[in-house]
Amino acid sequence: MATSTQIPLAEYLATSYRPDREYIDGEVVERNMGTWEHGRLQMLLGIWFGQHEAEWGVMVAAEWRTQVSETRIRIPDVTVVISGPQTPVLHDAPLLLIEILSPDDTYSATERKAQDYMRMGVNTVWIIDPETRTGRMCIGATWTAATRLEVPGTPIYVELPNLFAGLAPTR
């Protein structure tokens, strides 16, 4: 049976991990590493949101430590917050969190991660799957498959066919 070592949150926050890891109830947890398509989608989303930051009044960041509870720090692939001063670790619910599936990720495991985000107060989470070229958005408690992902009550959106066009052609 595998054992794990519990460490205090302060020790986790004072440590740099390469690649960065999440902190779940006292354990440092490795994340599945992305492929080229994962990284490319992350970059394309960063460019898309970056081009609209002033228009939409937001700021975008990749892999920003987000404290979702007293004992959990998650690292979403893309975070969109209302413009303004920010901290090294995000403590307030952002406007939008985006997870891009890596080959070893599953929708169900990523949905569990999204539940942490929802308990934190995030209203909209997107999950994008580069392998199947699909996406889902969770608004409140409802998951919806869509080709246009949106944040209700805002002008924020992304058209998945346009996003996926920036990837290599389907094999």
Q: Are 124 and 95 in contact (CB under 8 A)?
A: yes
Q: Which residues have C-beta within 8 Å of that of residue 64, sequence separation ≥ 6?
A: 75, 76, 79, 90
Residue 10 falls within a domain, yes or no? no
Note the pLDDT of residue 83.
Answer: 87
Q: What percent of the chain has pLDDT over 70?
A: 95
pLDDT (tens digit, 9 = 90+) per residue, 91-119? 999 999 999 999 888 878 888 899 999 99
The answer to whether position 65 is within a domain reads yes
The pLDDT of residue 23 is 93
- The answer to whether position 135 is within a domain reads yes
Residue 42 lies in a domain: yes
The domain in which residue 109 lies consists of 33-164
By the 8 A CB rule, do 91 and 60 touch?
no
Average per-residue pLDDT for the chain = 91
Tell whether 77 is covered by a domain.
Answer: yes
Number of domains in the chain: 1
Asked whether residue 25 is assigned to any structural domain, the reply reads no
Rounded Cα gap, residues 136 and 77, in angstroms: 15
Considering the domain boundaries, does residue 143 fall inside one?
A: yes
Residue 150 has pLDDT above 70, yes or no: yes
User: What's the rounded mean pLDDT across residues 140-149?
Assistant: 93
Burial class of 138 by CB neighbour count within 10 A (0 to 12, 13 to 18, 19+): buried
CATH number, domain with residue 160: 3.90.1570.10
Mean pLDDT value across residues 7-12: 92
**What integer pLDDT is reported at residue 1 of this predicted model?**
44
Going from the C-alpha of 165 to that of each of 44, 50, 118, 145, 146, the distances in angstroms are: 10, 18, 30, 19, 16
pTM above 0.85, yes or no: yes
Q: Is the residue at 15 inside a domain?
A: no
Average of pLDDT values for 85-90?
91
